[in-house]
Every structure is written in structure tokens, then in C-alpha cells.
Chain A
Amino acid sequence: MTADVAFSLIEQSIGYKNHQILNRINLTINVGETVAIVGASGSGKSSLLNTLYAQQREKSALCPQQSMLVTSLSVYNNIYMGQLHHHNVFYNLLNLARPWRQHRQQISQLCTLLGLKSKIFKSVDRLSGGQQQRTAVGRALYQQKSIFLGDEPLSSIDPIQGAALLQEIKQRHQTVVIVLHNKEMALNEFDRVIALADGQIMIDCAANLLSPQQIDAIYHQDIASAVAE
């Protein structure tokens, strides 16, 4: 069954030399799963996600927390960046001077989906925070990988648009791992929820077996009542 494993961490510690963020954790994520990672700030969610990314660079599209866009370039070019590795350098350089028709069509469709249709040739520094975040999601989607790794990719997008975008992400990827703070979304939209606290994986179970109170308890550092049920 190893062929179906997307990620596997065995007794893995994550952190810096003198500062361990996660201690000897075990985690397996199978192909086809949708996983939500929750936990208070500083609990190691981003570090975990980056560790997962390092394991499957080729197959994963990463949407990092600071959207890390190149702000002077247009939405189009920022999204195109998701496919830089598919083309040779000169093709990419020419695209900077003049967008290729084929990509313009594809990215334009993607922008319609992201609600950025009218902004496609605006530079990112002229967009709102939510629009910038959608551009970052667009860049990840355009990579057309089988795994989506997102670090709070929907945090500054309104709930309705966010839900629609999440559906799109799930449709386009086999495996989805997303860090988020929205507990309703975590419980209703994902197969599995992982909660981090105290450098450990405190909860790791099917989403339908969890209650919102348990997730609240994780955020309130009330580990006992989170794990109790």
C-alpha cells in the first residue's frame, strides 16, 4: 500500500538546533485525503507544512503564508510563475515582454474563477489583501500538481468566496493539506483534522468525529478537555 502514501513522517523532530518546535512526531497522509491542520499561533503548523513540502517538492504546489508575490509584476505574471519550470528560460523571458496567447487564455480563465478577471494586468501592489491572496492561490493552482499545500491560503478572503475556492482546490488536486483557523471549515470541508499543541500532534482523526469545542480547547491550550472526548 506504500504507493498510496503521499507523506510520511516517522519520529521526526522539526525546528532549529536549540529550539524544537515539534518533537518526534509520526504522521502519514495518504493520497486522496484532504487534511486540515489547526493549532494556536506558534504551534508549528507552518513548520510542519514546510517539512511536508520538502518531502514532495516535485508533486506539491505550495501556497505560503506571506503570499510572497512579486508586487511590481502583474497578476498574470505572478500566476504564470507557477509554471516557470515547465518552459525554457527564453520562453519565460519573452513572456515577460509579451504574454503568450496560450497562457493568457488559461490564466484569464483562472482569474475569472478567482474573481480577478478585471485585474489580470494590474500589478499586485495595487490590489487589496484579499485579491493578493487569491493571486497567490492562483499561482499554486497554475502549477497543476497533484498535491496542494496551503498555509492559511483563504484567511483574508470572504467566507463565500473562500468556500468556493476551497472546492476548486479540492477538485483540482488529489491530496490537499491546508493550515487554517476556521474551525467550521476544518470540520465540514475536510476528511481529517490534525491539531498541534505543545510540540505534539494532539488530535489526529476524521473530521466527522470531532466537535467544535475540542478545537476551541486546543486554541485555549486546554489540552485535557480537547483530547478527553
Chain B
Amino acid sequence: MAIVDSTAARYRTISLIIAAVGLVALLLADLEISNHDPTSELIRLLHGLVQPSLDVSQYLFDAVFNTIAFALVGLAIGAACGLLLAPYHHLSIVRQSCAFLRSIHELFWALIFLQMFGLSTLTGVLAIAVPYAGIFAKVYDDILAQCPIDSQLVFDPRCSRFSRWAYGPLAQCWPALVRYTSYRFECALRSATVLGFIGLPTIGYYLETAFNQGLYHQAGALLLLMFALVATIKWWLHRRLIPLYLFAAWWYLPWHSALQWQYLVRFVTEDIIPAPLKADTVQLDALYRWLSDLWLVQILPGSWATLVLSVAALLMTALISLLLWPLASRVLSGRAQVVGHGLLLLLRSTPELIITFVIMLVIGPSMLPAIIALALHNGGIIAYLLARSSDRLTLRPDCSRGLNLWAYELQPTLYPSFLAFLFYRFEVILRESAILGMLGITTLGFYIDSAFEAMFFDVAFVLILVTALLNMAVNHLSILLRRYFDLDKLVLV
């Protein structure tokens, strides 16, 4: 009997493992529908979305301009720092620091900066710039590392390291760097939007207000505006105009709030120091009790809930992306791909936080809205990437059609990319799962948000560190999985 030794069989095994673990997580997750009459709320909501209020007032413009301005300035600073850090990213200390910066979600950074700089422009800009710097440093380094020129050989050894870098890899990879940065702008717009949930005057702020007050027609208008903003990026963000836009954004953002050094200093030197260490006589057993309480009451249950939510969401993301990508693929859907692309655009341009928030209004708070939201958003992104790859495949002249083509050629060929995207997204899903706690699901974000609200900054700080560590661990797992399945080169973005 011939030996079964196929790559497809390996993919099947890992897929079954993801499915099994995901199912267990779904069984453990709290999937309650607590709203007794979800349909009437849903009808009201849909009514609002279908008939958006056309009362275009000043605040709409403010919301849009603020969102764009925060995204642009934050992204620019992040990209500049990332570019400066990229040549040193091979150093362990830089690599680890960047991993740390990006393992903390923009909203958590925003909560931290909020304590240091108040509700100010600086808080919003830094909340985007800091994690993005970590992301850019890594991705820029990855892109530059793929550059074929061996800059050591081409240049005179006497020319400086920087010149060699600038004329070698940097010049060679510039288009790829620009492409990646412009792709990230879409993400920055989403980040800027959700910063509204902590009070910065972006679209998210007005969205939350409108939803909370039941003004669904207004909320509908804001959502449409957000889609329009993302869908039309390529028409209004011309490369040559970026410096002008940046200047305008800088000028537009209100920088007036003076930096209050005493808050900053107090936050770093006092607020985040664990309470038992601030007593006159430091007692180690008090610190131990403080930590073990924190561990049992917040860290363990919070981390567990975060993991359960993200693993369940991972499975649903996988299913949604497998289900949706054929809709946007030209070879499978023909002209109808436009409809599929429209749907995927809606899904990927709506931040998980907003989808969760909206679904929660309908079915009440539990993990269910979060799982649906994470699966829709991330599934939409993966489906988009798969559909794009499917249209780039060269098919045999005698290839089959329809379901046969899907089952025997497209899906098996795209499966490694699918797994690569899925493993890559796992880290993102975990980070978002933590954040969704701010809406009341008991993931780490819930405990962090509560700690900030109760002014227990020391607790919040420890919890954020735990979140970061958990995220770095999952990231590591994802890297190991990608390496084991030889998928590293397949992750494009």
C-alpha cells in the first residue's frame, strides 16, 4: 500500500486541530442572547442604517477631518520612527522593544497617554504613532531584508553605512515600502475612528454617542461616511499631495492644551508603582498578597476569557473567510465579484469594536457579538486577500469550472496562503479580543478599563503588561506554526 504523505493531509490535520480547539472554546464561551426582544431593536437599527439622516452639520465635518488628521499625523510619525528603527531591527533589544510596542493595542496606549497628557491631540497622535512605529520597524526590516542587492559588494567599502543603506536596499525597496505604508493608512483611519470611544473627537466618538442615544439615523450617516472615506482613499490621497495633507492635518489638530509635566512625572513615578511599594515601609508579603490577589481575581480570569474568545473567533474567522472569498473572485463569480468586493470592503473597513458595539445593542452583552464581529472583520480581510490571490493565479487552458475548479484547483492552491493569513491574524484577533473587554465582555480589556476608571493605575499597568506578554506569546506561536508549515513567505501584508 502506498504511503499517504501529502501536504494536503498536513493542512487537514492542522485545520482539524483549529476546528476542535475552536469548538471547545465555543462551548466554553458565554454566548447568551440577553436582550429579550432582539428583532425590534434590529429593525430599528436597520431602519436607521437604510435611511441615514442627511442633516449634514458642522460636527460631521469635524469628525471626518479629525479622523483623517489623527490617522495621517500618527501614521507619519510612526512610519518615520519605523524607518529609523528598521536598520537596527536585527538587534535583539530593538526587536524586542518593537514587539512590545505593537503588542499593546492603540486604545490601551490611548488610555495610558490619557493619564499623562489628558484628553489632547498629543494623546491621540501618540496612541497611533507608538504601536505603528513598532509595526513599521518590523515590516520595513522584513521588506528591506528581501532586497536582492548585496550592498556590501556594490559599494566602495569607504562609504558610510548609512549611504550604503540609502542607495542600496532603501532605494531598491522604496516602492514596496510606500505600498505597505499606504495600505497601513486604511488601518490608521480605523484606529483613529475607534479612538473616539475614549473621548477623542473622531467619527467613533459621534458614533458611540449617536448609538447610545438611539439616534440610529445619525449613526447610519456616520457609518456610511466611514465606509465612503475608506472606499475612496485612492481618489483623495494622492502621493504628491501627502505633504500638503500632513501640513494641513498638523495645522488643523488643536495642539493648544499645554503639556503638564507634573501629571506626566506623577504617572510614571507614582501612579503606576504597585500600591504596596508606596507604603512607608515596604513589606514584601503585602506585595505578594497584592500580586496574588490580582493574579487570581483579574489576570487569570481575564487572560482565560481573552484566549477563549480569540480561539473561538479564530475558528469563525476561518469559516467566514473560506465561505466569502469565492464571492469576490473573478474566476469563480465573474462579474458578480463586484458585489462580493463591496461586501468585503464593508466588513474590513468597519472596526471590530464598532461591529461588536452594534451587535451588542441588538442581542445584549456576551461573547457572541464579539465573536461575530471578530469573524466578520478578520474573515472579510482574509477573504479579500484570498480573492485577490485567486485572480492572480495562472490557470491551465483545460481547467475545470465552478465547484470543481474551486475544490480541486483554487482552494488547494490557496490553502497555504489561507493558513498563513489565519495564523498571522491570530495575533491581531487576540489583541482585539482584549480590547473588546472595554465593551463589558470580561476579557483583559474589561479589567484594564475598570482599573483606569477606578484610578488604580498600578493595577491597570500590570494588566496591560500581561496583555502584552500574552500577545507576544501568541505571536511567537503563530511564527512557529508558520515556520513549521513553511508559510512564512506567503504573508504579503
Contact = CB atoms under 8 A, between A and B. Distances in A.
Interface of A: 50, 53-54, 57, 60-62, 64, 66, 68, 70-74, 77, 81, 84-85, 89, 92-93, 96, 108, 117-123, 125-126
B407 A121 contact: no
Contacts of B397: 50, 53-54, 62, 64
Interface string B394-412: 1111101011100111001
A62 B11 CA distance: 29
Contact of B11 (A61, A64, A72): A72
A96 B407 CA distance: 8
Given A73-B6, A118-B3, A84 B404 contact: yes
Contacts of B415: 72
Contact of B416 (A57, A62, A72, A96): A72
B6 A122 contact: yes
Given A118-B2, A123-B8, A62 B400 contact: no
24 contacts: A57-B398, A62-B396, A66-B394, A68-B394, A68-B396, A70-B408, A70-B409, A72-B413, A81-B408, A89-B403, A92-B404, A92-B407, A92-B408, A93-B403, A96-B407, A96-B408, A117-B2, A118-B2, A118-B3, A119-B2, A121-B5, A121-B6, A122-B5, A123-B9
A72 B3 contact: no
Interface in B5-39: 5-9, 11
Nearest to A57: B398
Nearest to A81: B408
A89 B404 contact: yes
B93 interface: no
Nearest to A97: B12
A190 B74 CA distance: 70
A85 B416 contact: no
A121 B2 contact: yes
A121 B3 contact: yes
B400 A74 contact: no
A96 B403 CA distance: 13
Nearest to B395: A68
Nearest to B408: A81
A78 B165 CA distance: 46
A121 B2 CA distance: 6
B402 A74 contact: no
Given A72-B412, A117-B2, A122-B6, A85 B407 contact: no
Nearest to B398: A62
A81 B403 CA distance: 13
Contacts of B5: 121-123, 126
B396 A126 contact: no
Contacts of A84: 400, 404, 408
A126 B4 CA distance: 12
Interface of B: 2-9, 11, 394-398, 400, 402-404, 407-409, 412-413, 415-416
A85 B402 CA distance: 11
Contacts, number: 84
B427 to A, nearest CB: 24
A47 B4 CA distance: 38
A57 B8 CA distance: 30
B9 to A, nearest CB: 8
Nearest to B393: A68
Interface of B is mostly: helix
B396 A64 contact: yes
Contacts of A81: 400, 408-409
Contacts of B4: 74, 121
A206 B6 CA distance: 45
Contacts of A96: 407-408
Nearest to B415: A72
Interface hub of B5, B396, B403 (most chain A Cβ within 10 A) = B396
Nearest to B414: A72
A14 B429 CA distance: 51
B417 to A, nearest CB: 11
A123 B409 contact: no
Given A62-B397, A64-B397, A70 B412 contact: yes
A122 B3 CA distance: 7
Contacts of A50: 397
B2 A72 contact: no
A133 to B, nearest CB: 14
A126 B408 contact: no
Contacts of A117: 2
A66 B397 CA distance: 11
Given A89-B403, A92-B404, A74 B6 contact: yes
Nearest to A61: B398
B7 A72 contact: yes
Given A62-B396, A62-B398, A126 B7 contact: yes
B393 to A, nearest CB: 10
Given A77-B408, A96-B407, A72 B6 contact: yes
Interface hub of B11, B407, B416 (most chain A Cβ within 10 A) = B407
Contact of A74 (B8, B394, B413): B8
Nearest to A74: B6
A54 B397 CA distance: 9
Nearest to B403: A89
Nearest to B5: A122
A61 B396 CA distance: 12
A77 B4 CA distance: 12
Contacts of A74: 4, 6, 8
Given A68-B395, A72-B11, A72-B412, 20 more contacts: A53-B398, A57-B398, A62-B397, A66-B394, A70-B412, A71-B7, A72-B6, A72-B413, A77-B8, A77-B408, A84-B404, A89-B403, A92-B404, A93-B403, A96-B407, A108-B2, A118-B2, A123-B5, A123-B8, A125-B7
Nearest to A140: B398
Contacts of B395: 68
A100 to B, nearest CB: 14
A2 to B, nearest CB: 25
Contact of B402 (A60, A89, A119): A89
A60 B397 CA distance: 11
5 nearest A-B pairs in the assembled complex, by CB-CB distance: A123-B6, A72-B7, A123-B7, A121-B4, A89-B403
Nearest to B402: A89
A137 to B, nearest CB: 14
B400 A73 contact: no
A96 B7 CA distance: 14
A191 B3 CA distance: 41
